């Protein structure tokens, strides 16, 4: 029953998050490429997070909401290229694989938007894919006066994709003899591409607001554990800290299990502290002041005090196990970004 409730909450949280997203719709403006010898017949999306394109940062009313493409990335781009890059004269059908794609906002007075795309293009043969080109493109522009920056995100997406296709069209791709692999192998290879764009695109909501300056905080390093009676943790080999110091990272991970493990850790930590404190207070009272008579300590306080204090030891062990569990889960989430 407990697992069912967690699963139900996870589904609800997922659906609620995406009901709050901001949809970007690509305008039907023809893609102009001179002497084009290809058309896009299929879209593959190899990003880890195939839903989000970025996060609303600047506008207060939408701050923290994810940007998504209307109809989904695959359907959205398929319909866009079908209308705006149609086959006209026996062009070669190609598959466009999206390795990374993001939009980003920055600035306060001069608000600007950025877009980045990393794509691969494949010839298709007997249901398999042969890579003939790989490239990327970046653009940045300032928003028009009186307009929200996100209103021009779709234009920047079109710009970077068009630039990638122009680079491809100017290459010697028709002379290549590629090796053909399955769609699964295509996606597995794409996920090994380690670029700044992939870190930005696939980071699920790691943003903070500090000193009224909006910024995206991309802290993708793993947290290391230091053994000892009082365990400590470090990030990027900096000063060793207690687990509480990393609560913002756990929250920013947007991973339900990480946050649940940390919540369990906090509850167990408080219980351990309370048990030890109550036991210590009772033991201290039994050994001092009026409670300590000629016959020795007040056993009616010492025995329960010592028992409660001893109970904090197994609680402390369980607390440390929950801390390790939280760190292991967080590191696993970060590793898969």
CA distance 308 to 326: 27
Is residue 134 pLDDT above 90, yes or no? Answer: yes
Q: What angle do CA 252, 77, 173 make, to 5 degrees?
A: 110
- pLDDT: is 170 or 289 the higher one? 170
Q: Kind and range of the H or E element at 93? A: strand 92-106
For residues 140-146, average pLDDT: 68
Q: State the pTM of this model.
A: 0.54
CA distance 180 to 183: 10
Identity of the highest mean pLDDT range in 23-37, 95-109, 142-156, 279-293: 23-37
Most confident of 10-14, 70-74, 102-106: 70-74
> Which tokens belong to 73?
């990335």
Query: Does 172 have pLDDT greater than 90?
Result: yes
The pLDDT confidence band at residue 16, using thresholds 50, 70 and 90, is very low
Check residues 89 and 165 and name the one with the higher pLDDT.
Answer: 165
Give the C-alpha separation, 72 to 269, whole Å: 43
- Residue of 125 and 321 predicted with greater confidence: 125
Tokens of 277: 């404190």
Residue 206 has pLDDT above 60, yes or no: no
Average pLDDT of every residue of the chain: 76
Query: Nearest Cα to 120, choosing from 37, 176, 13, 46?
Result: 46
Higher pLDDT, 122 or 107: 122
Q: Are 17 and 52 in contact (CB under 8 A)?
A: no
Q: Is the CB of residue 156 less than 8 Å from the CB of residue 137?
A: no
Across the range 109-122, mean pLDDT stands at 86
Indicate if the pLDDT at residue 320 is higher than 90.
Answer: no
* Rounded CA separation 124/30 (Å): 24
Q: Would you tell me how many other CB atoms lie within 10 Å of the CB of residue 305?
A: 23
Kindly report, residue by residue over 38-83, the tens digit of the pLDDT: 999 999 998 888 888 888 877 777 777 888 999 999 999 999 999 9
CA distance 169 to 157: 18
Q: Rank 25-39, 226-240, 260-274 by mean pLDDT and report only the highest.
A: 25-39
Going by pLDDT thresholds of 50, 70 and 90, the confidence category of residue 336 is low
Looking at residue 215, its pLDDT comes to 35
Residue 325, pLDDT score: 80
- Are β-strands 22-24 and 66-69 bridged in parallel, bridged antiparallel, or unpaired? parallel
Position 4 pLDDT exceeds 50: no
User: In the prediction, which pLDDT does 113 show?
Assistant: 86
Q: Please give the Cα distance from 330 to 337 (Å, whole number).
A: 11
Give the whole-angstrom CA distance, residue 220 versus residue 194: 12
Which of 136, 135, 134 is closest to 117 using CA atoms?
136
Nearest partner of 233 among 188, 241, 38, judged by Cα: 241
Per the structure block, which two tokens stand in for 123?
A: 């010839």
pLDDT above 90: residue 218: no
pLDDT tens digit string along 147-169?
Answer: 667 778 899 999 999 999 999 99
Residue predicted with more confidence, 145 or 307: 307
Burial 5-32 (b: 16+ CB within 10 A, else e): eeeeeeeeeeeebeeebbebebeeeebe
Alpha helices in 223-255 (DSSP H): 247-252
Is the pLDDT assigned to residue 22 strictly greater than 80? Answer: yes
């Amino acid at each position: 029953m407990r697992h069912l409730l967690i699963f139900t909450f996870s589904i609800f949280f997922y659906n609620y998050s995406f009901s709050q997203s901001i949809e970007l719709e690509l305008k039907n403006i023809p893609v102009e490429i001179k002497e084009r010898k290809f058309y896009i017949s299929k879209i593959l999306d190899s990003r880890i997070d195939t839903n989000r394109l970025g996060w609303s940062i600047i506008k207060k009313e939408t701050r923290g909401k994810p940007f998504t493409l209307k109809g989904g990335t695959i359907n959205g781009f398929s319909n866009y290229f079908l209308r705006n890059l149609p086959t006209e004269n026996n062009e070669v059908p190609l598959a466009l694989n999206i390795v990374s794609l993001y939009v980003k906002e920055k600035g306060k007075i001069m608000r600007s938007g950025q877009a980045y795309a990393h794509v691969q293009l494949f010839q298709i043969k007997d249901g398999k894919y042969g890579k003939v080109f790989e490239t990327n493109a970046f653009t940045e522009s300032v928003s028009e006066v009186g307009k929200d920056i996100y209103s021009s995100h779709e234009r920047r997406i079109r710009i970077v994709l068009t630039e990638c296709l122009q680079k491809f069209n100017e290459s010697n791709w028709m002379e290549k003899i590629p090796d053909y692999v399955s769609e699964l192998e295509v996606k597995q290879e794409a996920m090994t591409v380690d670029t700044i764009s992939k870190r930005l695109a696939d980071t699920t909501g790691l943003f903070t607001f500090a000193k009224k300056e909006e910024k995206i905080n991309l802290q993708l390093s793993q947290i290391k554990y230091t053994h000892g009676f009082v365990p400590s943790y470090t990030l990027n080999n900096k000063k060793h800290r207690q687990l509480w110091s990393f609560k913002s990272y756990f929250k920013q991970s947007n991973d339900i299990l990480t946050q649940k493990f940390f919540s369990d850790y906090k509850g167990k930590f408080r219980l351990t502290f309370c048990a030890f404190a109550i036991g210590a207070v009772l033991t201290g009272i039994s050994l001092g002041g009026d409670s300590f008579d000629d016959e020795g300590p007040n056993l009616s306080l010492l025995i329960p005090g010592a028992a409660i204090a001893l109970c904090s030891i197994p609680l402390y062990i369980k607390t440390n196990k929950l801390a390790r569990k939280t760190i292991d889960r967080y590191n696993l989430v970060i590793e898969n970004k």
